[in-house]
């Protein structure tokens, strides 16, 4: 039987064994098996390996950076997804013989919206590539239950906790509702909008024309007198206060409801 007969026969029966296969045909069959073996077709190239090295090192560094940031800000439990952008030329790189060196330009300052890493292989003929990571960080934050108008004083019924992607939230966010209780809304807040401290301010503790207690401290001695506030003020703000006894106007720091501390003691 010749080769044509074999092809015809194997096509018809799907399976055919020749105990005496011609030497040249066995070589051709073996060569075809080598080319078509699935495991060999799926074997990663050196370029793929180099890209995997870059990806793995960047994800590890980005994860550590986010973890450190979360620890410093006392984040509650969060979830993160790393979106890694590796330049196309990385597919041309040979695999590094050891773990690549990775650094983060900008030092300790982290931009959660966009992190950049420099990845370098120090092998002979090695490579250097800049990789961008944009993490999606889902964190439970304080949001407004309903729309809150300017001047509204925050109460527990105004807010709730909801998981939110904070990576694109450049205005900041709050994770503990207690931090904002009693604060006043500076500008209108939308329903379900994450709340930040920059959108709020302390309540007015002193109104213009209000009688206030003026506290003066000097060399460990404290004196109190009465005065009149010349403008309204919140805690920590400096306002002008008129001393009721002397009629003198002085600068004072709002310390509490109807209480101010004089910046300079009388006679200074």
Q: What is the pTM of this model?
A: 0.60
Residue 180 near residue 187 (C-beta atoms within 8 A): no
pLDDT for 22: 44
Place of tokens 């005065």: 227
Residues 120-130: tens digit of each pLDDT = 999 988 999 99
pLDDT of 268 > 80? The answer is: no
pLDDT for 77: 87
Q: pLDDT confidence of 178, banded at 50, 70, 90? A: very high
Average pLDDT value for the chain = 81
**Domains 139-201 and 204-262 alike in fold:** no
Q: Please give the Cα distance from 268 to 266 (Å, whole number).
A: 6
Q: Give domain limits for the chain.
A: 46-137, 139-201, 204-262
SS3 for 117? strand
Q: How many residues does the chain have?
A: 268
pLDDT of 107 > 60? The answer is: yes
Q: pLDDT confidence of 25, banded at 50, 70, 90? A: very low
Residue 243 near residue 225 (C-beta atoms within 8 A): yes
pLDDT for 30: 39
Q: Which residue has the higher pLDDT, 267 or 72?
A: 72
Place of tokens 């950076």: 65
Provide CB contacts within 8 A for 56, sequence distance 6+: none
CATH number belonging to domain 139-201: 3.90.1210.10
Residue 196 near residue 174 (C-beta atoms within 8 A): yes
Residues 74-94: tens digit of each pLDDT = 888 899 999 999 999 998 899
Percent of the chain with pLDDT over 90: 57
pLDDT for 8: 43
Q: Encoding tokens for residue 181? A: 């209780």
pLDDT of 110 > 90? The answer is: no
Topology classification of domain 204-262: SH3 type barrels. (2.30.30)
């Amino acid at each position: 039987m010749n080769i044509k007969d074999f092809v015809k026969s194997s096509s018809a029966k799907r399976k055919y064994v020749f105990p005496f296969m011609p030497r040249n045909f066995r070589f051709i069959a073996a060569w075809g098996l080598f080319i078509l073996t699935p495991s060999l077709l799926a074997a990663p190239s050196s370029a793929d390996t180099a890209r995997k090295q870059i990806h793995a090192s960047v994800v590890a560094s980005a994860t550590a950076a986010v973890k450190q940031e979360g620890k410093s800000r006392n984040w509650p439990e969060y979830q993160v997804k790393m979106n890694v952008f590796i330049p196309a030329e990385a597919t041309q790189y040979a695999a590094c013989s050891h773990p690549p060196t990775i650094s983060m330009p900008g030092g300790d300052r982290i931009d959660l919206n966009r992190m950049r890493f420099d990845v370098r292989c120090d092998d002979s003929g090695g490579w250097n590539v800049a990789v961008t990571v944009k993490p999606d960080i889902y964190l439970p934050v304080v949001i407004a239950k309903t729309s809150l108008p300017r001047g509204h004083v925050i109460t527990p019924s105004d807010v709730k906790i909801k998981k939110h992607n904070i990576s694109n939230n450049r205005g900041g966010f709050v994770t503990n509702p207690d931090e904002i209780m009693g604060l006043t809304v500076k500008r209108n807040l939308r329903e379900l909008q994450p709340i930040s401290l920059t959108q709020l301010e302390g309540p007015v503790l002193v109104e213009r024309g209000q009688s206030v207690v003026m506290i003066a401290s000097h060399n460990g001695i404290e004196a109190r007198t009465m005065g009149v506030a010349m403008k309204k003020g919140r805690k920590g703000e400096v306002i002008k206060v008129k001393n009721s006894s002397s009629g003198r106007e002085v600068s004072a720091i709002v310390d509490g409801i109807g209480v101010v501390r004089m910046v300079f003691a009388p006679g200074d």
